[in-house]
Chain A
Amino acid sequence: MNVTATLIGQVIVFSILIWFIKATMWEPILNTLEDRKKRIADGLAASEEGLKAQEVAADEAKATIADAKQQAAEIIAKAKSRDTQMIDEAKAKAVEEAERIMVGAQAEIDQEVNRAKDGLRKQVSALAIAGASKIVGKEIDANVHKNALKDLIAQI
């Protein structure tokens, strides 16, 4: 049971070991623990914030959906009114077109009638001359009875 020179060696080893453990292990591990603590706290705060943001976003989404619904209703109503308007327009156009076609047809009919009348007139004058010449017995010069023919024709 003696104290020997080993004591000095042990003190030196001990001192170096304390310093070494402080530098390589104690401080890094404490820093890591501190870091982890901070990160956990940050993470919790962030999740809290996230929840709040989610609530806000949900509210916003609701408002947006309501807005969209309203707009959709408006659009449908507008579309419906435009629908009836288009039908009315189409009806009006159809009526107009029908009238136009009718007018055209009438004009054509009139024209046709006139043309028939003209043809008839010419034939009447020829018939009248032929009939007259048969009755009279000699050939009648059309030019001589021009005025009489004209009157006849005009009577038709």
Chain B
Amino acid sequence: MSESNATAISDPVGYINHHLTNMSSGTLGEGSVIDFSVFHIDVFLVSLLLALGLGYLGWKVGKSLDADKPTGAQNVLEMLVEFVNQQIKDIFPTADKWVGPLALTIFSWVFLMNAMDLLPVDLVPSLVGGIASLFGADPHHVYFKVVPTTNLDTTFALALLVFGLIVFYNIKHKGVWGYTKMFLFHPFGKFLIPVNIIMTLIEEIAKPVSLGLRLFGNMFAGELLFLLIALLAFSVWTMPAQIALGTLWAIFHILVITLQAFIFMLLTIVYLGLASQSADEH
């Protein structure tokens, strides 16, 4: 605590940078946006652990369902399933057996990954640093970013799969020709085909990009604010401010993480619902 505080006070930029650096295999090249030689171990590990936990919970509850006497976790999951299913029924034009699990997975998994934001900012990095120093590594060069959704990889992985499904559903429900027609004649009719193509292309690509960036931006900003609040602890006199602001932001952040998970889920349903409309409904 005192050591990390000391670093934080003497070098706030270094402190924040340390917290914003991933534990990675390979090093990022300067200026490159896409670099597939790098793999963020921490992001993958945390999201995988949360996925496993979620899967375990689902499996555990799912194998011992009781229609007459629902208990504890079953109640919660039933409520969640009914809630998601209701959203889908309200929005989705056709019955589809995959959109429900997809929406539920997005909501619960994103919620869990976002919820990692509520862990104290120094907790996991110092823990991992401490463990690494047992093996002789310098804790200042051991990085660990706990919140997977503050990383573009995670949010774009979700958004990309959703994008793929949007294309798939479009072709499934409109046919290849119907989907092509949507690019050619939408939104301005047959006399402005080049403009139509550009407009629709932008519209379609904006969907996954906005999905991914919205979640990433919100979570990244939240994380950064937590770091800044943590930096307030530079003297005993500012501790109350740190505690008060930290508490306030954490409480507010409960709303943000739930809302972002919900928005991601809802937009996914909306996009897929639009994709599932047949061509003449457009």
Binding site for B on A (CB under 8 A): 1-11, 13-22, 24-30, 32-33, 35-36, 39
Contacts and interface: CB of A to CB of B under 8 A. Distances in A.
Nearest to B212: A3
Contacts of B138: none
A20 B55 contact: yes
Interface stretch (B77-85, B120-128, B183-191): B77-85
Nearest to A28: B62
Interface string B6-44: 000000000000000000100010001111111110011
Interface of B: 24, 28, 32-40, 43-44, 47-48, 51, 54-55, 58-59, 61-63, 65-68, 74, 77-78, 81-82, 85, 97-98, 100-102, 104-105, 108-109, 148, 151-154, 156-158, 160-161
B192 to A, nearest CB: 34
B21 to A, nearest CB: 12
A9 B101 contact: no
Contacts of B39: 4-6, 9
Contacts of A35: 67
Contact of A7 (B55, B67, B160): B160
Contact of A30 (B37, B74, B85, B157): B85
B65 A9 contact: no
Contacts of A32: 65-67, 78
A114 B101 CA distance: 131
A15 B165 CA distance: 11
Contact of B152 (A1, A8, A29): A1
B98 A25 contact: no
Contacts of B82: 33
Nearest to A40: B67
Contact of B81 (A10, A20, A33): A33
B161 A2 contact: no
B57 to A, nearest CB: 8
B81 A9 contact: no
Contacts of A6: 38-40, 43-44, 151, 153-154, 157
Given A29-B62, A32-B78, A4 B156 contact: no
Given A13-B47, A29-B62, A2 B100 contact: no
Given A2-B152, A6-B43, A29-B61, 9 more contacts: A3-B153, A8-B36, A8-B157, A13-B48, A21-B108, A26-B100, A26-B104, A30-B100, A35-B67
A19 to B, nearest CB: 8
A64 B47 CA distance: 74
Given A22-B101, A24-B55, A15 B161 contact: yes
Q: Which of B58, B109, B154 has the most CB of A within 10 A?
A: B58
